[in-house]
Amino acid sequence: MQQAAPNSAHLFVIFGVTGDLAERKLLPAFYHVTHREGCEGMSYLLGVGRRDWSDDEFRRRAKQTLTSSGLGPGELSSWCDEQVFFHGIDDYRSQESFVELRSRINQIEHDCALPQNRIYYLALPPEAFPAAVTALGENGLAHSAGYTRLVIEKPFGKDLETARRLDQVIHRYFGEDQVYRIDHYLGKTTVQNMLVFRFANGMFEPLWNRDRISRVELTVGEDLGVGTRGGYYDTAGALRDMVQNHILQLISLVAMEPPTAFEAESIRSEKVKVVRSITALRDEDVVLGQYGAGEINGQPVTGYLEEPKVAAESQTETYAALRLHVDTWRWHGIPFYVRTGKRLPRRTTKIAIVFREAPLPLFRAFQVRPPANVLVISIQPDEGFDLFFEVKTPDRSFRLDTKRLTFRYQDHFGRIPEAYETLIADVVGGDQTLFVHTEEVEASWRLLTPLLQHKPPVSEYRAGSWGPDEIYTLLPDWVDYCLAEPTQAAQRGKTVPGRENDRIT
């Protein structure tokens, strides 16, 4: 792995800098990383885009973007004026354009006395990746006297074949140790801390197996629809857009074995083993859906087929629920239930670790059957952990109540760095731990490609609901842990779903 200190002098080149991702996420993240890591005088930015802008015009727009994100104009002036540049490009497939770009990069490095440490961030549509990578390689920009790193946004292909073709182009010019495939979920604080939570706390790791855990539930809910992304999304769908990357990455972190060391190669190796161990998906393990008209937060919203740039007869899934099995010694026989969808009631990402119930109905004389303990890992929007456990109420009658131990990162540490801040800092520092290896990409597509080729029927669900009715056949009491309040199944006097003959009293 090419290593460098986070504050080593470098030129950060963003291709597609005039796009939405760069404006909303990358520019603010790059600024915060530059100043948080103490490399204000060594971190230079070259924006590349299909605009006829001067440096001054781009600097003015960058100041507007950063000011709107909460920074004061005084903080930005010297940095933007001295360390931010722009280069217009006509066509990412044009060799001539990249000859001019190479001259511009060389000029900036000469004028600013930079040691040819270069980072190329492809914030481009995925169809532009092969041409841009080829142009970089053919024009001698894949290697330099310092380090050269290539950052690629998902999706990494559309299926196994296209993913392999993309990797062939990348590896023709760049080594795997130069490539940083970004999945922004891996930059979230709770996701990073999952390894610490598991392996630094002796109370949890001995319980993290099929003997003590009955199932794992993962919900990734979005209240938004496809918006202006209808043209892209209609060719992708939930399986490609969320399951192949975000969700399989989260599952691999939950299910992986302890790595031999806390370093990129060891961690990524264990993650790959998890994805390779997931058994082939059967039709009965999958529920797909597409949102129809409904209400979100009391406001009417249209269905997917009425969204701009969506085909009138589209069968693209906006919702996917899966029952996965990780066929390893640790997890054999334990289901991993996954669901993700658009136009759900709220934006949330939660992982519920559901422990086994007590083996003996000790309190049956009191007509009490305690529910399982649950550990809920909240990844967004309120990053933290909740542990649900049973206590006896203080009155004379024998009643149980579910209580919660809660930890929230923001309560204890204040501002939490955005995911892109963490990932950009790691790219600059040469740390590939939180980035996706080519073997992970291939393993995930190998799992999902058969399902993509022979998808089960897509059912309609009402916008503002938690998905098609079929999900309650896949897991009848899914609602217990990953939705609004994981305690709802344990409320006194209420029926526990799936155990209608038992009452919590």
Residues annotated as catalytic are: 246
The 8-class DSSP code of residue 38 comes to T
Q: Respond yes or no on whether the N-terminal peptide bond of residue 155 is cis (omega within 30° of 0).
A: yes
Contact partners, residue 125, CB within 8 Å, separation at least 6: 16, 232
For residue 241 the two structure tokens come to 């857009």
**Residue that has been written with the tokens 């993309």 in this structure:** 166
**Based on the number of CB atoms within 10 Å of its own CB, is 143 exposed (0-12), middle (13-18) or buried (19 or more)?**
middle
Nearest to 129 by CA among 87, 86, 173: 173
**Residue that has been written with the tokens 């009658």 in this structure:** 397
**Residue that has been written with the tokens 């000790």 in this structure:** 362
For residue 295 the two structure tokens come to 């209400």
**Nearest 10 degrees: Cα torsion 405, 406, 407, 411:** -130
Buried b (16+ CB within 10 A) or exposed e, 331-358: beebbbbbbbbbbbbeebbbbbbbbeee
User: How far is the C-alpha of 478 from the C-alpha of 291, rounded, in Å?
Assistant: 19
Contact 336, 218 (CB under 8 A): yes
